[in-house]
Structure 1
Amino acid sequence: MADDLTPDSDSTGQSRRLPAGRKAELAAYVAEVGQVTVAKLAERFAVSADTIRRDLDQLDADGLLIRTHGGAVSLSAVPRPDTGLDVRMRLQTTAKEKIGALTASLVQDGTAVVINAGTTTLAVVRQLREQRELTIATNSLRIPAEISPEVYRDLYVFGGQVRLSAQATVGPVSFKTASAGGDVEVRFDLAIIAVGAIDAEGGFSTSNLGEAAMMAEMMDHATTVAVLADHSKFGRRLFAQIADLGRADYLLTDSEPPPEVADALDEAGVKVLVASTEDS
């Protein structure tokens, strides 16, 4: 009796996806759900976890998704609060670079600047090329390796608990010295604060309570506050509020805020600066 199985079916007669077709469906599925694990994909597509890992590696290399430890995220996904820094650095990259260039233009020579940890603020420090004699304080463990040593006179990293996923410290905005016998009061000309969400009623917020408290304290220690957020942050509220909208002097972003948020910012006296394509 002739075998009636087609090239696209297995010994049970069930349809078997060809690799190219599976990869296309896999990429479309990740784009739809935003974030997914290898185990879930293996179950959905009825192939081994090793096969899924190879497919994800190839799709990442092709620029169709972002490979993560244990799974993948779509290029357009808003990252979960626990998404690692290295993954978040690959989301909204163009927007962050545009915002970084615009923010760097606010930094004047010889000033004291406090910068919180985040992927958008990393884009800022990469744009600090012409400035000189800056005093910079941060809770980012990545900024010291990213910033040019020609830019700063002094660079300080705040102590505290280390959050490995954010590659940052969480603690008080202060420094202890033996000679002073306690905390030394610090003041900054400019605070550069990247936030996780902006809402007309809820103000600025983020996902971690300790980080929210530290970001609020950074604002309190600065004469001028510049808040950074790309368009994906508008109209969202996260777990921990950082501050009301009126606490910022500037909002730097890559596109005009939606009407409700724009009206609230205007009422709060916040100047919105939108990065143009020429700033990227």
Structure 2
Amino acid sequence: MDAATATTKRRLPAGRKAELAAYVAESGQVTVVDLASHFGVSIDTVRRDLDQLDREGIVVRTHGGAVSAMSVPGRDRGLDVRLQMQISEKERIAALAVELIEDGSVLMLNAGTTTLAVARALRNHRNLTIATNNLRIPAEISPSVFRDLFIFGGAVRTITQATTGPVTLAMTSNTTEVDIRCDYAIIAVGAVDASGYSTSNLGDATMMSEMIERADRTVILADSSKLDRRLFAQVTPLQKADYLVTDAPPSPDLAAALAEAGVTVLTP
């Protein structure tokens, strides 16, 4: 064992994490295998370190690696950044999700790049009613797909190009709120673990939860990099969803929890 290798193996975890974060920042984008080789540790150790750094907002965890978050403020990543992440996984998830939707259905879709992929994948559907807080969906979805398209009002979060606020539609003549229902809530979340579905923003979590409460069926969307993780704000427990659509099978423990909760898992 040479001196450099010996030094690497003696590093404390905190020191390794700091050096790992610096290495990701310098490289811009790295894989788990590359990091394990560079630092002389196991792949599982690197994954745990990256998960911790992602929770702290230092790196952006991706499927199989990480990208630098130095130019991105806080936990919220700009839409343009997220549009470049897990592109093929999101397209596969969207293709599966739209198979559940019948023509003429009423849908609620939340903000997120995966739901944008769903909007594009609905191109062969007709006569849908769609309600969303995702400000990009009107530009992404074909006019031939929907009969009516509603945008929920509220405060605009420019970083996600979405609104936050109560899921209500008000009568134009007065302030009476209209009770709204939908056939499907299609909800992209930031994390899934045995405790439920979660996201990094409290306002977003409230919006998602209210959509789910108004739906006959709920379809959760999450690529495999979001499984076995938990973020700041819980959206709802596992059993509140009917389907989890993801791009790879969950771990055995998470799969067991989903099965116990009665959630059908759909993968390519």
The two structures have a TM-score, normalised by structure 1, of 0.72
2:171 is aligned, of 156, 177, 187, to 177
Q: Take 1:222 and 1:88, find their aligned partners in 2: how far apart are those partners?
A: 27
Q: Cα gap change, 1:74/1:172 in structure 2, threshold over 3 Å: closer, same or farther?
A: closer
Structure 1 position 106, deviation (Å) = 1.2
Partner of 2:141: 147
Q: Cα gap change, 1:229/1:74 in structure 2, threshold over 3 Å: closer, same or farther?
A: closer
Q: Cα gap change, 1:74/1:265 in structure 2, threshold over 3 Å: closer, same or farther?
A: closer
Partner of 2:189: 195
- Structure 1 gaps of 5+ residues are 1-24, 35-71, 276-280
Q: Cα gap change, 1:85/1:150 in structure 2, threshold over 3 Å: closer, same or farther?
A: same
Residue aligned with 1:205, SS? strand
Greater CA deviation, 212-221 or 79-88?
Answer: 79-88
**Aligned sequence identity (%):** 55
2:90 is aligned, of 80, 92, 96, to 96
Q: Take 1:214 and 1:125, find their aligned partners in 2: how far apart are those partners?
A: 19
Structure 1 position 229, deviation (Å) = 0.3
Q: Structure 1 segments of 4 or more deviating over 6 A?
A: 25-28, 72-75
1:29 is aligned, of 24, 27, 30, to 27
Q: Cα gap change, 1:139/1:26 in structure 2, threshold over 3 Å: closer, same or farther?
A: closer
Residue aligned with 1:110, SS? coil
Q: Does 1:115 align with 2:89?
A: no
**Aligned 8 A contact 2:77 2:159 in 1:** yes
Q: Cα gap change, 1:26/1:166 in structure 2, threshold over 3 Å: closer, same or farther?
A: closer
Residue aligned with 1:127, SS? helix
Structure 1 position 31, deviation (Å) = 3.0
Partner of 1:274: 267
Q: Take 1:139 and 1:268, find their aligned partners in 2: how far apart are those partners?
A: 28
Q: Cα gap change, 1:73/1:246 in structure 2, threshold over 3 Å: closer, same or farther?
A: closer
Structure 1 position 30, deviation (Å) = 2.6
Q: Cα gap change, 1:30/1:144 in structure 2, threshold over 3 Å: closer, same or farther?
A: same
2:237 is aligned, of 208, 229, 244, to 244
Residue aligned with 2:185, SS? strand
Structure 1 position 129, deviation (Å) = 1.3
Q: Take 1:115 and 1:249, find their aligned partners in 2: how far apart are those partners?
A: 15
Q: Does 1:258 align with 2:232?
A: no
Partner of 1:226: 219
Number of residue pairs aligned between Structure 1 and Structure 2: 213
Question: If you compute each CA radius of gyration, which structure gives the higher value, 1 or 2?
Answer: 1
Structure 1 position 179, deviation (Å) = 3.4
Structure 1 position 33, deviation (Å) = 9.5
**Aligned 8 A contact 2:30 2:66 in 1:** no
CA offset digits 1:202-221 (Å, max 9, x no partner):
21000000110110000000
Q: Take 1:231 and 1:26, find their aligned partners in 2: how far apart are those partners?
A: 21
Greater CA deviation, 179-188 or 139-148?
Answer: 179-188
More helix by share: 2
Q: Cα gap change, 1:32/1:173 in structure 2, threshold over 3 Å: closer, same or farther?
A: same
Q: Alignment RMSD, CA only?
A: 2.2
